[in-house]
Amino acid sequence: MQINSFEEYQETYQKSINQPEEFWAGIASNFLWKKKWDHVLSWNFTTPDIKWFEGAKLNITENCLDRHLAENGDTPAIVWEPNDPEKESITLTYRVLHEQVCRFANVLKKNGVQKGDRVCIYMPMVPELAVAVLACARIGAVHSVVFGGFSAKSIADRINDAACKVVVTADGAFRGNKQIQLKEVIDDALIGCPTIEKVIVLTHTRTPVSMLKGRDCWWEDEIKLVDSNCPAEEMDAEDMLFILYTSGSTGKPKGVVHTCGGYMVYAGYTFSNVFNYQPGEVYFCTADIGWITGHSYIVYGPLSQGATTLMFEGIPTYPNASRFWDIVEKHQVNILYTAPTAIRSLMGFGSAPVQGKDLSSLRVLGSVGEPINEEAWHWFDEEIGKKNCPIVDTWWQTETGGIMISPIAFVTPTKPSFATLPLPGIQPILVDEQGKEIEGNGVNGNLCIRFPWPGMLRTTYGDHERCRLTYFSTYENLYFTGDGCLRDKDGYYRITGRVDDVINVSGHRIGTAEVENAINMHAGVIESAVVGYPHEVKGQGIFAFVIYPGLSKDEELTRKDILQTVTRIIGAIAKPDKILFVSGLPKTRSGKIMRRILRKVAEGDTSNLGDISTLLDPAVVQEIIGKSRQL
């Protein structure tokens, strides 16, 4: 399944385009199926309706666990590095992980979870999180993992949207020198969640928590009451595997749905190729399982390939900025996959934290989540890779399920800040605003994909029309990514960032409309407008323009109140970096906010604001510019 030379890549790519069904059937035959497919692909991008491997039966956990037992049962599946470096790390072999997953799957069953039921998982980065995810898949329940940084309200919205039956959580989480009271957040969330019947709580921080009789039970007690025999549920290739909520330009986050067969094939194939994973290697992805990167490239991709995947509970700067490099040295990490934001933040500490660390085990470096600037790329290459490790800059999305445009390690010649070339099976196309294809090289356009791939989303949970509108209606017969993109003279792709109202803060996708709604919920706020601006470490920062009449002298306190409101409504990750109080917003006569102007102000570049003659009240702009200079 692995591609070993650039010529082989080119041949494979051609085949994948000319005979996609044959190509993917060949890849899929490397996986374990209870029954093979009747038909490889049926699709249209209008409804949309996409089916891969129709008629096939499988269970993804048999691919991630059972099939490795005979020969690799004693191979480490998960190596866990705790937040506190003084604490022991934990290794779960494939045999032990299999046993724990089966046991916890029986716990879920005992608590009433059946095939097709939705389970919300809100946990710290501990091995039990991976166990809970796989246990759901084992019995055909649909997991919906919610990142530990979201607020009670965000969790409640997600639980209600998916009508989840059970929550799996922990008492608390450690993050650097902070503790997060997860169970308390869940308790707040569940005040408004009538569908939840049971809450299973893992002991981790051992902070006092309230345990509601009849609803809440301890993980540790439950696993004692079940055995470890749990046959894998037979799933259709197109049965739902999980839901993962993600932000868009409008409304509440939507539940992106991935299905069993295609997702498994795509996550496994891309993992094996992009990182050139070799048996026995230790692979470390620094993401959180609460995001798609963790789903595809901590859990499903690596485990489907029998890899050793390292899970890290903490943050890159705790107890100090050497932590990643200490982990690489301690566990002899061979492949390191991280985000530009982490690289930039560590780069800020200079080379001292890297000095004296043995990074010689590293073979491949990866980047994901946001555009990587050249400076960060070179720092990663020189300081960490010692100019000896290929960097795979992987472009993809929650919706794509796996990596789409990326170098293949040791195969594709890299170029700083370029995601380079499409992986086999991926057909990118650049279009202009009208949807007309922009051909040739040395061009810019909106990035779309014109042919299905196995890992793509199938729908948005409970609202198929929203899926159609968001991804398939902007341009006819194309999947629209929401990203702008450059194709250079060599045909290499460079992602330039979102072209919609989504901002990418530290690799996290945040909808401006969502932040505006949260700010507007603050008493006293009349209206707000949120835009992104370049931020040295986070990639983009959040800039909020807020109309708040009757602002008292203490602006700073009101600012903090607004931040608190956003934290309550969405979570700390959506807090604006800057708030500017204004008396009006630049609106056209039809009432539309001219965000272009606000973006310029946020960037601090007000020299050329373009045509503002269509504004209802052009004087507003002068006021905003004046105030922004004082911020």
Which residues sit at the interface with ligand PRX, rule CB under 6 A?
Answer: 246, 292-293, 368-371, 393-398, 419, 481-483, 495, 498, 504, 509
User: Is omega for the bond preceding 48 within 30 degrees of 0, making it cis?
Assistant: yes
First to last CA, the chain: 55
- Shortest distance (Å) from residue 310 CB to ligand PRX: 18
CB 159 within 8 A of CB 191: no
Comparison of 287 and 333: residue with beta carbon closer to ligand PRX: 287
- 347-353: long-range contacts, CB 8 A cutoff, minimum separation 24: 347/375, 347/376, 347/379, 347/383, 348/537, 349/321, 351/383, 353/320, 353/321, 353/322, 353/325
Residue 394 CB, shortest distance to ligand PRX, in Å, is 5
The set of long-range contacts for 533-538, using a CB threshold of 8 Å and a minimum separation of 24, is 533/578, 533/599, 533/602, 533/603, 533/604, 534/603, 535/505, 535/577, 536/344, 537/341, 537/344, 537/345, 537/348, 537/506, 538/341, 538/505, 538/506, 538/577
Question: Of 481 and 512, which has the nearer Cβ to ligand PRX?
Answer: 481
Tokens linked to 410:
């040791």
Q: How far is the CB of 134 from ligand PRX (least distance, A)?
A: 21
Nearer residue to ligand PRX within complex by CB, 183 or 344? 344
Cβ nearer to ligand PRX, comparing 312 with 396:
396
| Nearest distance from C-beta of residue 616 to ligand PRX, angstroms | 32
In the complex, least distance from residue 458 CB atom to ligand PRX, rounded to whole angstroms: 16
Longest alpha-carbon distance in the chain? 74
CB contact at 8 A, 60 and 304: yes
Give the residue with the Cβ less far from ligand PRX, 97 or 256: 256
CB 514 within 8 A of CB 523: no
CB of 254 to ligand PRX, least distance (A): 11
- Shortest Å, Cβ 371 to ligand PRX: 4
Cβ at position 240, least distance to ligand PRX in Å: 18
- Written as one letter, the residue type at 289 is I
Nearer to ligand PRX, 122 or 245 (CB): 245
Which of 68, 498 has the CB closer to ligand PRX? Answer: 498
Please report the DSSP string for 539-591 in residue order: EEEEEEEEE-TT--S-HHHHHHHHHHHHHHHTBGGG--SEEEEES---BBTTS
CA distance readout (Å), 285 to 26, 269, 310, 315, 583: 28, 17, 7, 12, 46
Cβ proximity to ligand PRX: between 537 and 615 the closer is 537
Sequence-separated (6 or more) residues with CB below 8 Å from residue 221:
none
d(CA 108, CA 308): 26
Q: Given the complex with ligand PRX, which of 310 and 502 has the nearer CB atom?
A: 502
Smallest separation, CB 291 to ligand PRX (Å): 6
The SS3 call for residue 606 is: coil
| The total number of residues written for the chain in this structure | 631
Q: How far is the CB of 455 from ligand PRX (least distance, A)?
A: 11
DSSP class of residue 286?
Answer: -
Q: How far is the CB of 475 from ligand PRX (least distance, A)?
A: 16
Annotate 116-152 with b (16+ C-beta within 10 A) or e (fewer): ebbbbbbbbbbbbbbbbbbbbbbbbbbbbbbbbbbbb
Q: Please report how close the Cβ of residue 89 comes to ligand PRX at its closest, in angstroms.
A: 26
User: Of 59 and 367, which has the nearer Cβ to ligand PRX?
Assistant: 367
Question: How many Cα atoms within 13 Å fall on the side-chain side of residue 549?
Answer: 3
- Residue type for position 628: S
Nearest distance in Å: CB 417, ligand PRX: 8
- Taking CB positions, which residue lies at the least distance from ligand PRX? 398
Coil, helix or strand for 384?
helix
Nearer to ligand PRX, 495 or 582 (CB): 495
For residues 138 and 143, which CB has a smaller minimum distance to ligand PRX in the complex?
143
Distances (CA, A) of 298 to 275, 303, 312, 388, 630: 13, 8, 10, 24, 45
Question: Which C-beta is closer to ligand PRX: that of 424 or that of 455?
Answer: 455
Helix ranges (DSSP H) in 454-511: 464-467
Tell whether omega for the bond before 319 is within 30 degrees of 0, i.e. cis.
Answer: yes
